Structure 1
């Protein structure tokens, strides 16, 4: 028996850093969405727990317990075995929750073959894992443990672009100048189109952008390249280096992808739609 689970890219359309706790963890307020671009986790029953990684972005991905997929499996049940195959299409350390989404997908798949309830408390695996357990638009607050469903996200196409550099999240937070910034409005609006969502995002922020650019200046080039497209709105996701452009439903993102790949063939890029 085997089962597959999709691990979609997680995109922070906003990321407001609103404070820092005494233990050093930062408080966040973020509008998180997912795209139909991502990795795949395939799980098959086996006596021992093992991980194999393939796919176009598999180079350098560990297959030992430093991989969050195996840590998720051991958290779920340290005594049971499974053969896990992770097909990597998303770049690592790129601000789009690849490892966290992989871990969440693994938990969903393992629960299916082990006939277990999907766990609710997974914060121990990392701040992004809880939000990745439900692949729908959510508001993330606190250190990642406070989640609220976002209703009626409008249909949008998206272009994701990464310049091929890994970004250390702790390094970006160390470079952050202000750690006590305003949150999003208490009540989020209901957006009726990609255009109204983009207009609203113009008044929001990713507070990590300047710090990430200081760590990896090429991120500024990515944002500039996205601004040159027909995107309604562009920004950086998470702590970078992946940036995104939002487009109305249709062919805009795909056309922008073709143009960008011709101009910057060394960059990773993909287009799709929001889930």
Structure 2
């Protein structure tokens, strides 16, 4: 029997949720406010929250110094390209794990997930040498390949979880009606798993967008995404907090907007199959 929720309990839960939300959002708010300050006000002690001279000078300086549209375009191409490439590989793999399992399926899945525990720096040298020899350094193609491979275990695991929630009887009925394997996957499986695929795609885009280690080590200028754009404002002379905050705000704004408008789909996909 479900426990009744009293108005006081509901108000307490709501207040706690707002408190946690504000705590998580505060660093982003502080970054935006810092981007609207002068450099002197950005490092003032005690910090100034709202009582400062608001200015857009840092944004003008950032756009004059760096090619923001190029970096943004690189981030879009790399994140979308790595996500689509990962899905092309992960969907057949997840289908095989979910609907044609063997006694080694769980072991293989755990092995794939364990590769995420390897420190990235441990494979930097061989990957760098491979990229150098094959002309993939500072190219979008190279970053698309490496980011799709890095995030592939997560994509496979998420899709495997969603596919497991789809009744196998439906696929067997499609086979009895004469559906071939490609048609079974394209016309039966994928439409039923759209929420899970969409949430997997959104999560992978966010992971690829925020990836800094590989983008900083495998790019220089032509294919540098927004993570490299942010890093360019850290120099031996010191950190320019206001300009760094402006660059960071410009870098995270597109992914924040995408996450805001797709939050319902993301939550729906992440809770797919959670309630029977």
TM-score of the aligned structures, taking structure 2 as reference length: 0.24
Q: Who wins on radius of gyration, i.e. which is larger?
A: 2
Q: Structure 1 or 2: larger strand share?
A: 1
Greater relative contact order structure (CA < 8 Å, 6+ sep) = 2
Structure showing the higher helix proportion among its residues: 2
